[in-house]
Structure 1
Amino acid sequence: MGVFTSESDYVSSVPIGILYKAIVEDGNIVYQKALPQFIERAETLEGDGGPGTIKKITFVGGLGSTKQHVDVVDKENYVYSYSVYEGIALSDQPLEKICFEYKFVPTSEGGCIVKSTTKYYSKGDAEVSEEYLEGGIQRSDGFTKAIEGILLANPDYDKDC
């Protein structure tokens, strides 16, 4: 099995606690609002949102779904990680799983930097193309940007969800 890694830093004007809460704690609601063109439904199948929780994301237009296993939820240090172990996200490449880790770091301007690391675990000796890795970075940054957009447009999102 090979491991291929991509990393990106997304700078957001949204305060660290708000962006972390939206992505980690309120994701099942916020994802659908931020990405209605892609996400039909986000739901928790098992667990309470902490490590060991199983989530399912269903995509619009019958494109399929993914299942995720929550690996780390560290609210004190603003770290969140999960693994995609089943579904459409694994069908583009010969992959066993994809692991995502997000570290949120505050900025002096009051926003935060979302440092994302994605590890792609290939089946056997299969390679993962640079184009695919670059696409993963674009998807990760696009996801964060969409969440940020909802939060900036709805500064009282806690009350709206």
Structure 2
Amino acid sequence: MGVTTFTDKYTSTIPPARLFKASILDSHNLIPKIMPQAIKSIEISQGNGGAGSIKQINFAQGSTMNYLKYRIDELNEETLTYNYTLIEGDASMDKQIESISYEVKLEPCLNGGTISKMTSKYYTKGDVELSEESIKAGKEKAMGMYKVVESYLLENPNAYA
């Protein structure tokens, strides 16, 4: 098994606690509402939404994937940290990747906004090497979702306040 690690940083004008509530704590309600063309639903299939829970993302018809399942490893509202691991997905993921773990930390920045720090670790099966293109495509989708949440919060200043 190989491990490939990436670290990314994103900034937002939205305060960290508000962004955490919208993009993490209530993501299962908000994301399908604001991105119905991409996400059909996000369901909690095990647990209460906290650490140890399993969530399943069901993608909209026409998507290249049908679903992904992930386990919440840590959810801390005080430190604004969120760690989770993708544990199951469509056939293409299952052939190459054992799992992907993510560590997310939201921190305040000087302008009142947020610095989002994310570390992702890709655990591949056997001697599989992931292409830079496939990882870049996945990161762009995640960034797109992040930007849609940010836009929603900018357009709805009372939401998640």
Q: Confirm or deny a common fold (TM above 0.5).
A: yes
The unaligned stretches of length 5 or more in structure 2 are: none
Going from structure 1 to structure 2, the CA distance change for 1:106 and 1:79 (only over 3 Å counts) comes to same
User: Identity over aligned residues, as a percent?
Assistant: 39
Counterpart pick for 2:71 among 64, 69, 72? 69
Structure 2 distance, partners of 1:86, 1:78, is 25
Tell me if the contact between 2:105 and 2:118 (Cα under 8 Å) persists in the aligned partners.
yes
Counterpart check, 1:114 vs 2:86: no
Amino acid at match of 1:17: A
Question: For 1:74-108, what per-residue CA distance to the aligned partner results, in whole angstroms no more than 9, with x for missing partners?
Answer: 11111101111111385286001111221101011
Contact 2:72 2:83 in 1 (8 A): yes
Distance (Å, rounded) in 2 between the aligned partners of 1:58 and 1:19? 22
Give structure 1 regions of 4+ aligned residues with deviation exceeding 4 angstroms: none
* Residues 95 and 125, structure 2, Cα contact 8 Å, conserved in 1: no
Residue 19 of structure 1 is matched in structure 2 by: 19
Distance in 1, Cα, partners of 2:69 & 2:108: 30
Distance 2:109 2:91 in 1: 32
Match of 2:150 in 1: 148
Are residues 104 and 112 of structure 1, via their aligned partners in 2, closer, same or farther at CA, if it must alter by over 3 Å? same
Q: Distance in 2 between matches of 1:103 and 1:90?
A: 29
Q: Which residue of 1 aligns with 2:137?
A: 135
Q: Contact (CA 8 Å) 2:88, 2:94: kept in 1 or not?
A: no
Deviation at 1:29, TM superposition (A): 0.8
Question: Aligned match of 2:125 in 123, 126, 142?
Answer: 123
Over the aligned positions, Cα root-mean-square deviation in angstroms equals 1.8
Q: 2-side partners of 1:156 and 1:93: how far apart?
A: 44
Say if 1:92 and 1:85 are closer, same or farther in 2 by CA, change over 3 A.
Answer: closer
Counterparts of 1:110 and 1:122, CA distance in 2? 38
Partners of 1:130 and 1:158 lie apart in 2 by 36
Equivalent residues in 2 for 1:44-55 (5 A)? 44-55=44-55
Deviation at 1:9, TM superposition (A): 1.1
| 1:155–1:67 Cα change, 3 Å | same
